[in-house]
């Protein structure tokens, strides 16, 4: 049975400490930086009761070991038929998190269905196939950096790096992989932001989901009419060869997953890494000196400032005890990646410190764990590594144009980043 909101008294801050009667934390739909919130919750334990938007009770697993156990537990499902409140029709159609639960595709499938869907796209994301994209990614990065240089010259030396650089790189790459034509890309990013937002009205949520499905149906129709060497064409061919392997709904759901996750995660990762390095010039000096690699920077950023904060949803298929806390069957559970990354019991007493020399004794969970481990992880790592290395080689004096604490936080609590990243690139090394 799923608990009701009355089981989790709302203090608004989640600062209760009575382990026998935990106070639920009401998650702010507007999001904001999660780290102070996580620290307060972790004082009470690795698993916390929460109240989701719309007064929907849920749970948050944010301790590293607890989350690792939960993500791989055989009695934890992704299929929304296990979401008790949804099955009992207690979740309204315009609930802002409904898409995460109900979209049909790899991210909400279990068992054989999940393996079937994953096998259709996994070959495009092997380490070898992704490494073959390196030359294309390098060219895109260089083109975007040329644009950064032009913009800096035109706008008194200030560039909004998130929209000019961190966004178009992963958006172009994922759209090229899936055969999404240029005309759809700006619209799909806008809709992606609305779909993953947690602070929208029911009307806006429904409209964004409807438009996203319609836009991707147009992409599918275009590729069906003119197939190419892209993953959407390959998925359509697989469906036509064996109609039971991939339905139209699953095809659209798969595209929603990859278009959103394929650029939003890398967008936040690159943004967060630039902020971290600008705020820790000693760490930037270490990578420039060759003491550590850009791969080390990417991995430490993933741990220290995960691009995804609280990811919906998983559901216990029976009452489940995790780190001493019972999670009732059918409860929607958030995966607290931002909390796990700074869990001192896993990463040491200095887990709050950004340290690119940190030995990887405990691997972070920011790209998932278990059967649903992020299929695009090799691509995200490659994009971020190439982007950061070339960015700071081209603009070695790059710094934030405003103090980090003044940057507006990402809207919604799923993603973890800032909405804008104004920087002063400084002198262009290519023109020195």
Give tens-digit pLDDT for 147-205. Answer: 999 999 988 899 999 999 999 999 999 988 888 888 888 888 888 877 777 777 878 87
CA distance 90 to 111: 26
Closest C-alpha among 46, 52, 1 to residue 26: 52
Q: State the Cα–Cα distance between residues 259 and 175, nearest whole angstrom.
A: 7
Helix, strand, coil % in the chain, rounded to nearest 5: 55, 10, 35
| Cβ–Cβ under 8 Å, residues 82 and 317 | yes
Task: Determine the pLDDT at residue 31.
Answer: 86
- Encode pLDDT of 213-243 as tens digits: 898 899 999 999 999 888 888 888 876 666 5
Indicate the burial class of 203 (C-beta count within 10 angstroms; 0-12, 13-18, 19 or more): exposed
What pLDDT, in 10s, does the model give residues 127-140?
888 889 999 999 99
Sheet-wide strand order for 56-61? 25-26, 47-52, 56-61, 333-336, 310-316, 76-77
Give the tens place of pLDDT for each residue, 273-330. 999 999 999 999 999 999 999 999 999 999 999 999 999 999 999 999 999 999 999 9
Q: Which residues contact 94 (CB under 8 A, 6 or more apart)?
A: 201, 202, 203, 205, 206
3-state secondary structure of 19: coil
For the segment 6-38, what is each residue's pLDDT rounded down to a tens digit? 333 333 433 333 333 457 899 988 888 999 999
Cβ burial, residue 328 (10 Å; 0-12/13-18/19+): middle
Domains of the chain: residue spans and CATH = 5-431 (1.10.630.10)
């Amino acid at each position: 049975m799923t608990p009701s909101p009355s089981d989790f008294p709302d203090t608004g801050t989640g600062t209760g400490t009575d382990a026998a009667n935990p106070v639920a934390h009401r998650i702010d739909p507007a999001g904001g930086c999660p780290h102070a919130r996580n620290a307060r919750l972790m004082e009470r334990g690795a698993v916390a009761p929460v109240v989701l938007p719309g007064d929907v009770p849920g749970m948050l697993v944010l301790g590293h070991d607890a989350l690792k156990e939960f993500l791989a537990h055989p009695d934890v499902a992704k299929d929304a038929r296990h979401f008790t409140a949804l099955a009992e029709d207690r979740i309204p159609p315009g609930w802002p998190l409904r898409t995460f639960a109900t979209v049909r595709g790899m991210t909400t499938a279990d068992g054989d269905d999940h393996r079937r869907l994953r096998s259709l796209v996994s070959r495009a994301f092997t380490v070898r196939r992704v490494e073959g994209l390196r030359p294309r990614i390098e060219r895109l990065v260089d083109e975007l950096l040329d644009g950064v240089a032009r913009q800096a010259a035109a706008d008194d030396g200030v560039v909004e790096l998130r929209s000019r650089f961190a966004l178009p790189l992963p958006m172009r790459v994922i759209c090229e992989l899936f055969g999404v034509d240029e005309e759809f890309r700006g619209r799909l990013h806008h809709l992606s932001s609305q779909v993953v937002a947690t602070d929208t009205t029911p009307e806006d949520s429904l409209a964004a989901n409807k438009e996203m499905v319609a836009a991707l149906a147009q992409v599918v129709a275009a590729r069906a009419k003119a197939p190419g060497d892209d993953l959407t064409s390959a998925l359509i061919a697989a469906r036509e060869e064996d109609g039971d392997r991939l339905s139209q709904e699953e095809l659209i759901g798969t595209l929603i997953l990859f278009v959103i996750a394929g650029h939003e995660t890398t967008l936040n990762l690159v943004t967060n890494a630039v902020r971290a390095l600008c705020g820790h010039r000693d760490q930037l000096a270490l990578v420039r000196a060759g003491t550590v690699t850009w791969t080390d920077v990417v991995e430490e950023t993933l741990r220290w400032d995960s691009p995804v904060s609280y990811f919906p949803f998983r559901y216990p298929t029976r009452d489940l005890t995790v780190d001493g806390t019972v999670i009732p069957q059918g409860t929607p559970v958030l995966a607290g990646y931002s909390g796990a990354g700074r869990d001192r019991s896993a990463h040491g007493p200095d887990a709050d410190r950004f340290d690119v020399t940190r030995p990887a004794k405990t691997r972070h969970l920011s790209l998932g764990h278990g059967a649903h481990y992020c299929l695009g992880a090799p691509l995200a790592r490659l994009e971020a590594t190439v982007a950061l290395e070339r960015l700071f080689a081209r603009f070695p004096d790059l710094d934030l144009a405003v103090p980090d604490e003044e940057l507006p936080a990402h809207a919604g609590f799923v993603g973890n980043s800032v909405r804008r990243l104004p920087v002063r690139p400084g002198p262009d090394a290519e023109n020195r």
